[in-house]
A = this chain, B = another copy of it.
Amino acid sequence: MRVFGVDPGLTRCGFGVVDGGPGRTVRCVAVDVVRTPVDADLAVRLLLLSDEVERWLERHRPDVVAIERVFSQHNVRTAMGTAQASGVVALAAARRDLPVVFHTPSEVKAAVTGSGRADKAQVTAMVTKLLGLKTAPKPADAADALALAICHHWRAPMRNRLEEAQRRADELARTHRARIAEAAAKQGGGR
């Protein structure tokens, strides 16, 4: 499985492509940070980002796109721009029929460091180690994108099992409801 991890942003957007190997091994395919000019119109910045995402999807053909879930933080303006950027990335993936999954920052940190409250340096150190890179990916957005992709590789099997369990539970509930309805209909007919 090949995962395209995206740490969304307008000023800096982290892109990281990671392949999964046997067991828990992961391999870095590509990593970069895309920037859009701060003084450009918002719509133009979104367009530049969207074009870049499409180039990456075309070039690296991932199986799934993992995006960091945005939370409204201290700076509302930044959070909105980040949300808009993440929407544009998700849209580009949906246009290619690719599944899009969102992971929270603490899920990502917990996946690669064991702690949901790890700092940036710790995340970068673990990403470098797990992917066997010679130098640490910089800036932090690049490391975050790789961490997201690794997080998705490791969480995906658990997610799939959960979804499968949910599907079975839903099916059982449906069957159960149908039987009740059938019994009620019979009772009504017998009156």
With A and B bound together, what is the CA distance between A94 and B70 in angstroms? 23
Residues of B within 8 A of A44 (CB): 94
Shortest C-beta distance, A101 to chain B (Å), equals 9
A20 interfacial by beta-carbon distance below 8 Å? no
Q: Which of B43, B50, B80 contacts A83 (CB 8 A)?
A: B80
Shortest C-beta distance, A121 to chain B (Å), equals 28
- Copies of this chain per assembly: 2
Which label, helix, strand, loop or mixed, suits the secondary structure of the A interface?
A: helix
Which one, A71-79, A156-164, A166-174, A179-187, is touching chain B?
Answer: A71-79
Interface contact B94-A46, CB-CB below 8 Å: yes
Residues of B within 8 A of A71 (CB): 76, 80
- Interface bits A67-93 vs B (CB < 8 Å: 1, else 0): 000111000100110011111101101
Interface contact A43-B85, CB-CB below 8 Å: no
A136 interfacial by beta-carbon distance below 8 Å? no
Interface contact A100-B41, CB-CB below 8 Å: yes
With A and B bound together, what is the CA distance between A125 and B100 in angstroms? 41
List 17 contacting pairs A-B, 8 Å CB cutoff, sorted by A: A41-B94, A41-B100, A42-B100, A42-B102, A43-B90, A43-B94, A46-B87, A46-B91, A46-B94, A47-B91, A70-B80, A72-B80, A79-B80, A83-B87, A84-B84, A87-B88, A91-B91
